Chain A
Amino acid sequence: MMTVRERGETVATLRWIHVRLMETLAAWVPTTPEMEVKLLFGAHIWDMAQHADALGKRTHELRMPLQHSIEPEESYRSLLADTTSTANTAERVATFYDAILPAIAARCRHYLEGTDRLLDAPTVRILEHILREQERMIAESRELREQLPVLELHDAAPLARFLDAEAAMPTIVHHRGEPVAAGAAS
């Protein structure tokens, strides 16, 4: 059974990831030539921001500052940075919608399986909402890929590398075990 602190640290870590993914999409918007993809990324910036915001409100309810983020384990941060550094549009789309979002969904489901759905009901509601919304985002990306053959991925190796490396991490949450400083929100 997780403690309140451990729940807060998990939620704050998920917030960090969602803010980072919002920024990743934002950086890709001006640098992606294909207009339809650019507009897909642009729309999903708002989705990721809302998910981060919901998580950030929950951190405050778990004795942490409002909109508090905690960096994930270094190995996850560097994996995310490597995977999102591609400039190829097909790779960007596949990486984001076929690897990163499904991996986050798996982490959220794992959390939901391990938490008490009554004691932790507000977090459960938020994560279930995020899961539904991210399934819609993935479906929108698939619809676009059916329309644009240029988005066909020719080399799936980077995706497989991400999924293997991510799955090999037992946890991405860096549990500190000490009190969180007030005003440490970012």
Chain B
Amino acid sequence: MQLDPSETRVVRGVTLRRDPAREDCFVIGHHETEVQAARDYGSVEAVRSMLHREYNNETQNTEVAAQTLVDFPDAPWELRMQLARQCWDETRHARMFLRRVIELGGRKGESPIKNGDWSIVGMIDSLPGRMLVQHRLFEGGVLDSFRQVARGFRESGDARTAEIFEVILADEIQHVRFANQWLRHFCKQPRAVMQMAAALNFAAGVFRALQPKPGERSVDDVDLAGVDHSIVINSDDRQHAGFTAAEIADLMQKDSQLEQELNA
């Protein structure tokens, strides 16, 4: 897989994959400063913005899975079947979020979007590396964040939105699980291990380069450097998704270290 320079874009010094096709009604941002960041379960506008962001994220997940089918035609057929199934799942998730946006009085394209996952994952030219970053890292993180967000909506009295997050969370477990199974298989091949290490290194470099600087604010005026990103590890669902007890313990330890650093 070789990308033509016209298929990439440089954002804050890092080369990322150019955005997938979007209609003119969308405003596309390329950094957290260019999209909304407020997470207020009591504000209809903030909720709509959160749901609209997830609508685009699920669409991106469809695009990543579809592009992986295109980029790796020689992947085992069983894995291609799982990616194809994932495409369907992600389209349903996107539709669920947009339907809720509309129920709450919103519309497609009403708030800026960012195609962050696509931009990073689309640069990774190996199947093991791509699955490590997309499925285990990004979608694994969704297992934690969606449970927390679902609880937030339920506690704020919005059971309908909470249910959407809970339903999607159950689907995401399958995606992370099949990836974990394949990644364990890939781990037996030294070349694949190197590809995974390279992909992880690339993703870490992008995160560092795009991390908001002190004083930077989102379009809805949130102090981005001050946002609390701490999330409780969803150990039950991570276990369902094939993470071992030792891997979950590692994540919890890192989480606890991060929390101590933030509180210091």
Contact = CB atoms under 8 A, between A and B. Distances in A.
A39 B62 contact: yes
B88 A29 contact: no
Given A26-B70, A30-B67, A33-B23, A46 B84 contact: yes
Interface in A137-155: none
12 contacts: A22-B84, A27-B70, A30-B118, A39-B95, A40-B91, A41-B66, A43-B87, A43-B92, A45-B87, A49-B81, A49-B84, A53-B81
Given A23-B73, A38-B21, A45-B84, 18 more contacts: A25-B66, A26-B69, A26-B70, A30-B118, A33-B21, A33-B22, A35-B98, A38-B59, A42-B88, A43-B87, A43-B92, A45-B66, A46-B85, A48-B84, A49-B80, A53-B81, A56-B77, A185-B77
Interface string A42-74: 110111111001001000000000010000000
A39 B70 contact: no
B70 A67 contact: no
B87 A42 contact: yes
A67 B81 CA distance: 12
A73 B36 CA distance: 53
Given A27-B70, A33-B23, A67-B77, A38 B62 contact: yes
A34 interface: yes
Contacts of B67: 26, 29-30
A181 to B, nearest CB: 18
Contacts of B87: 26, 29, 42-43, 45-46
Interface of A: 22-23, 25-27, 29-35, 38-43, 45-50, 53, 56, 67, 185
Given A22-B69, A23-B70, A30 B21 contact: yes
B206 to A, nearest CB: 19
Interface of B: 20-24, 59, 62-63, 66-67, 69-70, 73, 77, 80-81, 84-85, 87-88, 90-92, 94-95, 98, 108, 118
A139 B81 CA distance: 24
Sorted nearest first, the 8 A-B pairs with minimum C-beta distance are: A49-B84, A46-B88, A29-B66, A30-B20, A26-B66, A33-B21, A42-B91, A26-B69
Contacts of B62: 29, 38-39, 42
B19 to A, nearest CB: 9
A43 to B, nearest CB: 5
Contacts of A40: 91
Contacts of B94: 35, 39
A178 to B, nearest CB: 25
A180 B70 CA distance: 27
A33 B26 CA distance: 10
A32 B91 contact: no
